[in-house]
Chain A
Amino acid sequence: MTTFELFALTWKWDPVALGLAAAAPIAYAFARRPHAWPRALCCAAAALTFALALASPIATLADGYLFGAHMLQHLLLVLVIPPLALLALGGAASGSVPSRRRVPTLVAWAMGVGAMWLWHAPALCDAAATSQLVHRVQEGSLLAMGTVFWWPALAPDPARRIAPLAGVVYLFGACVACTILGIAVSLSPVQVCPVYAHPADALGILPTLRGDWGLTPERDQQLGGLLMWVPACLVYLVAILATLRRFYRVGTGAEVSR
């Protein structure tokens, strides 16, 4: 199987994921009028990424074939889809009474970091790659934990967000925790998820992955660790810069007009 065929033919067509990905923008279009285009785009991007993460070849490969694909899926679910969704909901409930934040900041942070660490305990990681049920639980929990994590930074109501500089510390801390795990995974002399070392090759694509792509189990694990290390940190970095932008806008009059 060539690489092209692999990308063309191994879509997972997960009906639940595709249904959700289609339903969310429709619901959004009905619920939020008039539309603010940047937010609507965020919603579309979130739905598209969701479909990509759960129904595309990424999902197929994450099911026991490639640790790197699993990591990509993992990162999309925790670091990309929740913030896009929260941005889409932005500006919803301003002017309301500033109620207490429901989740304490430290707990939210621990959720975000926990989402990274917990599912890479070898036993859990293996279970998620082999059992559909555990995989569903994993996907759901990653989305949920990701949302809780991003809430203090991107809550739809700006009044409920944490102070910008505290937000920078919050995001930087998460970046460091994520980096440490990424380093540990990419330098680890043992397999983090042993399942990926010996996939049950039902689709007959293993020769492509091992041969054409050159992804031996060791390299595959390195790739996964590196994805968590550098690109994941860039997501946090973008969020940090956005937070700083918010910080420097306050008091210059720009905030008032919004």
Chain B
Amino acid sequence: MSGPTETRGLYAWFATVDHKKIGILYLLTALVFFIIGGCEALVMRLQLAGPGADLVSPETFNELFTMHGTTMIFLVVMPVLTGFANYFVPLMIGARDMAFPRLNALGFWLFPFGGFLLHFSLVAGGAPAAGWFAYTPLSETPFSSSLGTDYWIIALLVLGISSVATAINMIATVLTLRATGMSIRRLPLFVWMTFVTAILIILALPVLNASIVMLFIDRQLETHFFTVAGGGNTVMWQHFFWTFGHPEVYILVLPAFGMISEVIPVFSRKPIFGYEFVAASTVAIAVLSFGVWAHHMFAVGLGHTFDLVFVAGSMLIAIPTGVKIFNWIATMWRGSLRFTTAMLYAVAFLIEFVIGGLSGITFAAAPIDWQTTDTYYVVAHFHYVIFGGSAFGILAATHYWFPKITGRLLSERLGKAHFWTMVVGFNLTFFVQHFLGLMGMPRRVFTYPDLPGWGPLNMVSTIGAFLMAASVLMLLVNIVVSLRRGKVAGDNPWEAWTLEWATTSPPDAHNFHEVPPVRGRRPLYDLGHGGASGAPTPEDASEPTLDKNAVCVWSLVASEASFFVILIFAYVFYNANLAGGGPTAASTLDLRTVSIYTACLLSSSFTLWLSERAQDRGDHAGSSRWLAATIALGLIFLVGQAREYIGLWQSGVTLSSNLFATTFFTLTGFHGLHVTAGLVALAIVLGRALAGDFKKRPSSTLRAVGVYWHFVDVVWVVVFTVVYLRAR
């Protein structure tokens, strides 16, 4: 691979694989979407400013809140967090770039593409209007007949793939590219939390992808996953969505926790209090987040037993979150505090997030949830979490890291004016919504009757929203002005301790001339205080030992496993007591012929193993032969699957016949797709092997692709058992 080529101008931005440029691209693109999503919010607030207004039609209002929610979550907060992670994770661990720079570029370019697809719906017959969680049956064709929801699905699919790609890259970067001495125990907390978030992303996003694929099949191919008409189950959509949706909340907020954990110690002149507790509680939150989604569904009527267990489970999340809050407060305790704009945002984050957390705890109690669900109380709650939490964390990070990215400081005077306008505006907008919600104002209504108190409170909320808009304008002005005339920052304007401040501002293309020695959690502090002298401990010399290809492929396997778990679960659930007539597994599937193709696929794993062994021995010709045999066996399997499909179609079994056929074709079809992808990868490896690529130096490519191929086979073993053997 060639080194970084020096290209200038606009083209350099399009062609770049530099993590810093990609990070900036993420931030700028997200800023554009933030302005779009913010304007949507302002229109909604204008419409709601007084009772009985008719600025926008009800349909437009539905489109506005759907687009606002989708935009802010998928096109603003996630990409901004990814952008900061992209820029700073490699710097903070002393790496030159991400583990896979081109994958990184792909991940980025999919993001504006997804955003474009989502907004293309506007000219293709109307924006999506079913809310950001697109509850069925509202999002099904009979109730949302425009193409908006379809574009919403495709856009989310593209964005989901982008997020997973970047998350895999992030995991590989953190695990394999750390500088000498930067052990996992010493990772800056922002890096640690980004890492944990990346794990959440690779497990949670595929769940969303699988479920929107099912919704898409429902809409386009007239099947019945989520419509009662064909025996489907609408509540299933909610389960699937919140299986993704609850971890998503932590995907949005954990990196912001990380940002706060960087900012507060630096401006308190103290190391973070209880590093281990902050780090471990992050893991606890991540694990718990997968087990408590049903608290979003208390109002569905899941039953007393369900509610009880999830009330208890959800309350538990308050513990690790509380641990973090106390650690941040203890870090500030008796520190010498410097209230820069970044620090002000960090402190505001603590206060606003605690408010959001407390209203969250009230939701965990099912009876209160029943009372307040679908009211403005919910709107207030999640804006305190996502804006008062994530966005305030992001704004703290913006003021903290701007000098590193640009080399110039943001104006503190303008920054503080911006901060106070924002805090006042934010609380005006959303605090009153708690009261509106408790008074019974439902969310997602385009207008409301003139009930006592509703009009004035809504007016306050609208005024607050425009204050926030003014505040955002001040930030934009600050950025533009400071870029030209801001004070030159120097390498380390805040006297911070982590590695990104050891290099120039902005950093060179290759990040560091020399990575400073890492002997603890605060390498630059150690450097200035003689901590780096003296005999190094074994940990000081520790280097990552994992292979990046292996990390990449295992992360991918974990992610794909999550995708298939949902498809397999759907198959089992919908076939458990199939109502009505129509084809079933027992009546249509031919176990004998499928067993033959199955044997081919399974033996292909064996031949691949032989190929790996041959390569280990240095027998490259033998390795290529076995690889070719693997590809041939895989092709036979695909041919077999195609024959089975044709046979089924000829006997009248199609995707829309009934739920058996739907789930069968979806599950085996996606598996076939993965076999095809595996074959393409194997063919590329074979091509490289024949070109003699592996003779020059040892490569883990074959092994990595092999892991994926074995995984596809394992999935088939499960599918074969669940679909074919169980039908006997």
Which chain A residues have a beta carbon within 8 Å of chain B's beta carbons?
A: 165, 168, 172, 175-176, 179-180, 183-184, 186-190, 214, 219, 222-223, 226-227, 229-231, 233-234, 236-237, 240-241, 244-245, 247-248, 250-251
Q: Report if B525 contacts A (CB, 8 A).
A: no
Q: Report if B239 contacts A (CB, 8 A).
A: yes
Give the distance in Å from the alpha carbon of A27 to the alpha carbon of B256 in the complex. Answer: 53
Give the distance in Å from the alpha carbon of A190 to the alpha carbon of B572 in the complex. Answer: 11
Q: Report if B670 contacts A (CB, 8 A).
A: no
Q: Report if B133 contacts A (CB, 8 A).
A: no
CB contact between B287 and one of A184, A231, A236, A251 (< 8 Å): that residue: A236
Q: A240 to chain B: which residues have CB within 8 Å?
A: 283-284, 287
Q: Given A179-B290, A222-B305, are A248 and B276 also a contact pair (CB < 8 Å)?
A: yes
Beta-carbon contact of B309 and A187 below 8 Å: no
Beta-carbon contact of B287 and A237 below 8 Å: yes
Beta-carbon contact of B313 and A187 below 8 Å: no
CB contact between A190 and one of B305, B312, B577 (< 8 Å): that residue: B577
> Does more than half of chain A's interface fall in helix, strand or loop, or is it mixed?
helix
Beta-carbon contact of B280 and A179 below 8 Å: no
Beta-carbon contact of A222 and B303 below 8 Å: yes
Give the distance in Å from the alpha carbon of A244 to the alpha carbon of B239 in the complex. Answer: 31
Give the distance in Å from the alpha carbon of A185 to the alpha carbon of B290 in the complex. Answer: 17
CB neighbors of A among B552-597 (8 A): 565, 569, 572-573, 576-577
CB contact between B306 and one of A168, A186, A248 (< 8 Å): that residue: A186
Give the distance in Å from the alpha carbon of A62 to the alpha carbon of B124 in the complex. Answer: 59
Q: Report if B5 contacts A (CB, 8 A).
A: no
Range, interface on chain B: 20 to 34
Beta-carbon contact of B303 and A190 below 8 Å: no
Beta-carbon contact of A248 and B565 below 8 Å: no
Q: A223 to chain B: which residues have CB within 8 Å?
A: 305
**5 smallest A-B Cβ distances: which pairs?**
A248-B276, A244-B280, A226-B309, A230-B313, A222-B305
**B310: nearest chain-A partner, CB-CB:** A230
How far does the Cβ of A175 sit from chain B's closest Cβ, in whole Å?
Answer: 6
**Besides A233-B287, A233-B288, A234-B313, 18 other CB < 8 A contacts?**
A168-B283, A186-B306, A188-B573, A189-B576, A189-B577, A219-B305, A226-B306, A229-B291, A230-B292, A230-B309, A230-B312, A236-B287, A237-B284, A237-B287, A244-B280, A247-B184, A248-B279, A248-B280
Q: Report if B644 contacts A (CB, 8 A).
A: no
**A234: nearest chain-B partner, CB-CB:** B316
Q: B279 to chain A: which residues have CB within 8 Å?
A: 244, 248
Which chain B residues have a beta carbon within 8 Å of chain A's beta carbons?
A: 184-185, 203, 239, 275-276, 279-280, 283-284, 287-288, 290-292, 303-306, 309-310, 312-313, 316, 537, 539, 565, 569, 572-573, 576-577
Give the distance in Å from the alpha carbon of A226 to the alpha carbon of B308 in the complex. Answer: 10
**B537: nearest chain-A partner, CB-CB:** A251
How far does the Cβ of B274 sit from chain A's closest Cβ, in whole Å?
Answer: 10
**A251: nearest chain-B partner, CB-CB:** B539
Q: Given A188-B576, A230-B313, are A175 and B287 also a contact pair (CB < 8 Å)?
A: yes
Q: A241 to chain B: which residues have CB within 8 Å?
A: 280, 283-284
Residue picked from B203, B280, B304, B305, most chain A C-beta under 10 Å:
B305
How far does the Cβ of A252 sit from chain B's closest Cβ, in whole Å?
Answer: 9
Q: Can you list 7 residue pairs at the A/B interface with Cβ under 8 Å?
A: A179-B290, A186-B306, A189-B577, A219-B304, A231-B309, A247-B185, A250-B185
Q: A176 to chain B: which residues have CB within 8 Å?
A: 203, 290
Beta-carbon contact of B291 and A230 below 8 Å: yes
How far does the Cβ of A253 sit from chain B's closest Cβ, in whole Å?
Answer: 10
Q: Given A230-B313, A248-B276, are A179 and B291 also a contact pair (CB < 8 Å)?
A: yes
How far does the Cβ of B707 sit from chain A's closest Cβ, in whole Å?
Answer: 14
How far does the Cβ of B527 sit from chain A's closest Cβ, in whole Å?
Answer: 20
Give the distance in Å from the alpha carbon of A214 to the alpha carbon of B305 in the complex. Answer: 10
How far does the Cβ of B40 sit from chain A's closest Cβ, in whole Å?
Answer: 36
How far does the Cβ of B559 sit from chain A's closest Cβ, in whole Å?
Answer: 13
Q: B239 to chain A: which residues have CB within 8 Å?
A: 183, 187
Residue picked from B279, B284, B309, most chain A C-beta under 10 Å:
B309
Beta-carbon contact of B185 and A229 below 8 Å: no
Q: A245 to chain B: which residues have CB within 8 Å?
A: 276, 280
Q: B309 to chain A: which residues have CB within 8 Å?
A: 226-227, 229-231
Beta-carbon contact of A180 and B576 below 8 Å: no
Q: B316 to chain A: which residues have CB within 8 Å?
A: 234
Give the distance in Å from the alpha carbon of A179 to the alpha carbon of B305 in the complex. Answer: 17
How far does the Cβ of B425 sit from chain A's closest Cβ, in whole Å?
Answer: 39
Give the distance in Å from the alpha carbon of A233 to the alpha carbon of B313 in the complex. Answer: 10
